[in-house]
Chains A and B, each alone.
Chain A
Amino acid sequence: MAKKIKISINGVSVEIDQDTTILDAARQTGVIIPTLCYHKDLCVAGNCRVCIVEIMGQKRLTAACATPCEEGMDILTNSLKVRNSRKHIIELLLSEHNADCTRCYKNGNCELQKLASEYKIMTQDFIRLVPFKNYTIDQFSPSIIKDDSKCIRCQRCVRTCAELQGVNALTVAHKGDQMKITTFFEKAMNDVVCTNCGQCINHCPTGALVEKNYIEEVWDAIADKTKHVIVQTAPAVRVGLGEELGFGPGVRVTGKMVAALKRLGFDAVMDTDFTADLTIMEEGTELLTRLKRKMVDHDPDVKFPMATSCSPGWIKYIEHMYPDYLDHLSTCKSPQQMFGALAKTYYAKARNLDPETIVSVSIMPCTAKKFEANRPEMHDSGYRDVDYVLTTRELAIMIKQAGIDFMRLDDVHYDRLMGESTGAGVIFGATGGVMEAALRTAYELVTGRDVPFDNLNITPVRGMEGVKEATVKIENPLKEWAFLEGVELKCAVAHGLVNAHKVMESIRSGESNYQFIEFMACPGGCLGGGGQPIPTNPEIRRKRAEAIYAEDEGMPLRKSHQNPEIIKIYKDFLDHPLSEKSHHLLHTHYSPRDRF
């Protein structure tokens, strides 16, 4: 038990745990102190100074986010001195800010704007500093737009990229009035190690970092009568979208989302969960094949551990940072790209459509998916497999633009052919989900029995721990897999690229001996993706994860190989996992990139 201390906030005495910051203490007692540079995911910077409060007896004000309470502190959060100073600080921020709200992508969900509006900053006495500086808007990346004229130098993005992702694509350069947030040598985001994960976007309080949006392009496609526009929705979108449209965090809105997409005018609404199940079939088989090649054929070229390949942020990361480990990646494309390749082949054929006329759109919790869809590797259907990638946030914008009262929609089911999924596909959206889904299927494939966890819930790989481990011992396998008798399959799960870095270092040093590892670029997995609603924080991630697992539990089928549409696609089109056709459409290889 932490020691309790007594303090007073705005004249009300309270007892709180020692070492609580003034900010947290205030929140606990129902007093809100505004913040900008503070974010629950990140270490405290204390540099914006909007959270200043007055401690009686001290001349100077104190940053609430950075100061622990001390016994007997008498704190005022709204004294005249505090208010005047805070107002000054907001005015200062606005003076170096290109506050052109009506033309800003963040208009309506901007922390700076909200603060300015709360404090009613109606005049601008200070001299505007914006035009005096050299600003370029960096729009070269297919995922991210960086506009320095909107940056308030809170460094949340810098801390995100360093602390959560360990990528350090964004840093602070220069000092004094020249200090700015930038990449190495002020190169474009597209030309540096940035993984396009979008975590910086999700943590930026202003419009300085936003996703590149393709909303107009998608509207155009929908309006084009010669096009057949199909859409897929990633697992994590259904547990996030509601937050943008009036629901609290952790509400599942799958049916409403499908209904909304139909109303937007998409010709077919299908589910990435379907290709998530397909990924499990391919990847699970690949894992078993690798094991066989190693243990039975003693093939020296087969690489272990095998690493998952569904997270495009992670892919770009390994291309830059561990190019010598690219052979460890599963050759499976991500579910989005499998879907894309099948949309213009399998789906086109089944519906008797000219693939040329198909526009394939995906709704993703992720900004790296935009980059992924743009990769030269992703044209195996003979066309660009996925034409447009929208984030959860962009979809919400379209729904609002279309005037859809989301709350009042009735649930609608996905369209057939690639719209059916199992609980295993759904949990792809959470960290550990791919691993859990793969184990459910692989174990059964090998032994003919359910994976030995209560109700199929492989709890060791769930939760928000940065690196999780699980070991599954194979007993009494089917005859075909007899060589696996007694084998302990050592698995690990890492989410957030700092954790990926930890695991990769432990592999490189030979310290760990895993066989199978799931990597997700974003903290919490896709549910905490860079394209998810803002804010995203530990509490919200936890709620979204609960929703995902609830969705899984509620599904009649919870193992990928049971999905009837999966069974059908192998029967009608792909033959069997790792068949030649699936190799052509569903698998790929990646190439090394420079570390800098």
Chain B
Amino acid sequence: MTTNYLLKRVDFIFKNENDWEVILSKSINRAPQELINELISSELKGRGGAGFPTGLKWKLSAEAVNAIKYVICNADEGEPGTFKDREILSRVPFKVLTAMAVCGHVIGAKEGYIYLRGEYHFLRPELNKAIVEFEYYCKEIKFDFSIKIFMGSGAYICGEETALFESMEGKRGEPRNKPPFPSTSGYMGKPTVINNVETLAHTFTIFKYGAKRFYDLGVQYSRGSKLFSVSGDTPKPGIYELELGMSLEDFVEEFGDGDTKAVQVGGASGFLVPRKRFHETAIGFQGKLTGISLPTGGSMMLFNSSRSMFNVLDNYLEFFREESCGQCTPCRVGCQQLLKGIKAVKRGEKNAQYLDKLLRLTETMQYTAKCGLGQSVANSFSSIVENFREEMIY
């Protein structure tokens, strides 16, 4: 099957948010079940990480029995090359706040938190103003929901949902064992919905226009649109909302500088796609064409032929080595071994076959690491080493 999807720009996320009061009032007068069904039929999947169906997530928390529940907006955007959540929070904050409140209505939570990446502290004053206005309106319509901001403190791993809870509880941001999952035991051990900023913004669209408008975009398994942070060797860096399911070839056509050698899809924990596979790669959750998925926040980093893939991998591994929380063996030691390993190969201290040992190691990391960080190191490592083996050795 070789279908080429034309690149289609979409404009939902950043479109005006002035009607948020209406959407909020309307939504909280609908039955939770109805809203859940709406989300489920939209087939919206999380835009922050694993692509978990959002409707199902809300449903599970709604079903959990507890007087106290929480809604958390994950704005810890730390994936290198991703800057979409910042744009959403600065341009259409009310969409996110509204979505959080509607989620509160659906699952029965009265408190929401925004976990804001530490580096984004400059967003805080404006966001606080928005929250004050928002809470004021909630009071007016007698809807009991409050939102607080929690500032991150410079640890990438805190984007991982359970590490984020730990961090909010005043501890080291070390991911927890799962199960239990957040829907039954999240922040403070209470049922919690945690969604990415963009995911929440999309629910606003869905509550406003209905599931169908969203569902009609995209392809099977990957419905709707998504924000992409485009960077690297491109004449047009920036943020673009595009329909899911596009082919990477079309994407490079549009954004490349004419000399694109490879694209890293999904940041450090994503995959590197070499030029020869652009045409068979679709961007979506289950890229049907190749099996490549979009594991993270939508970073698209283009590299032209002047870039060394060894340097890119070296940079990723250094990132992981430092940002791993360090608690579990495969990730803590694995990252160090990978980094030292590729350097040793490059310097000729280890032979080229050592790369195969390292590839097997990444497989073990993928199978055994405690959280998504250690599990996804394999993605960039294997896609870079397999496609640019020569560059690793010479």
Contact = CB atoms under 8 A, between A and B. Distances in A.
State yes or no: do A and B touch (Cβ within 8 Å): yes
Interface of A is mostly: loop
B323 A176 contact: yes
Contact of B325 (A49, A126, A176): A176
Given A67-B179, A127-B337, A177-B332, A85 B367 contact: yes
B322 A176 contact: yes
B172 A96 contact: no
Given A60-B367, A61-B368, A127-B341, A47 B327 contact: yes
Interface in B144-170: 155, 157
B324 interface: yes
Given A59-B367, A63-B177, A177-B321, A92 B329 contact: yes
A176 B364 contact: no
Interface in B286-333: 321-330, 332-333
A48 B332 contact: no
Nearest to A178: B326
Given A60-B366, A175-B157, A153 B332 contact: yes
B370 interface: yes
Interface string B260-280: 000000000000000000000
The interface centre, meaning the residue of B322, B337, B357 with most chain A CB atoms within 10 A of its CB, is B337
A93 interface: yes
Contact of A155 (B327, B360, B369): B327
Interface in A111-133: 125-127, 129
A174 interface: yes
B326 A175 contact: yes
B327 A95 contact: no
Given A60-B367, A93-B333, A96-B333, A179 B325 contact: yes
A451 interface: no
The interface centre, meaning the residue of B324, B340, B341, B368 with most chain A CB atoms within 10 A of its CB, is B368
B325 A60 contact: no
A179 B326 contact: yes
A49 B179 CA distance: 16
Given A67-B177, A81-B367, A85-B364, A176 B321 contact: yes
Contacts of A209: none
A31 interface: no
A88 interface: yes
B356 to A, nearest CB: 11
A50 B329 CA distance: 9
B332 A49 contact: no
B335 interface: yes
Contacts of B64: none
Contact of A172 (B172, B322, B328, B360): B172
A52 B366 CA distance: 12
A95 B332 CA distance: 12
Contacts of A63: 177, 370
Contact of A48 (B177, B329, B361): B329
Contacts of A95: 333, 337
Contacts of B368: 49, 52, 60-61, 85, 88-89
B166 to A, nearest CB: 12
A52 B357 CA distance: 20
A129 B333 contact: yes
Nearest to A96: B333
A92 B333 contact: yes
Given A92-B333, A96-B336, A47 B367 contact: no
A47 B336 contact: no
A323 B360 CA distance: 56
A84 interface: yes
A177 B344 contact: no
Contacts of B328: 46-49
The interface centre, meaning the residue of A47, A84, A152, A176 with most chain B CB atoms within 10 A of its CB, is A176
A176 B322 CA distance: 5
Interface string A424-462: 000000000000000000000000000000000000000
A126 B334 CA distance: 10
Contacts of A60: 366-368, 375
A177 B326 contact: yes
A115 to B, nearest CB: 12
Interface of A: 44-50, 52, 59-61, 63, 66-68, 81, 84-85, 88-89, 92-93, 95-96, 125-127, 129, 152-153, 155, 172, 174-179
Given A84-B364, A96-B333, A172-B326, 12 more contacts: A45-B327, A46-B177, A46-B328, A48-B328, A49-B368, A50-B329, A52-B368, A60-B366, A129-B333, A153-B329, A175-B155, A179-B326
5 contacts: A49-B329, A85-B364, A88-B361, A89-B330, A177-B332
- Would you list the 9 A-B pairs with minimal beta carbon distance, nearest first? A179-B326, A92-B333, A66-B177, A88-B364, A46-B177, A47-B327, A61-B367, A85-B364, A176-B322
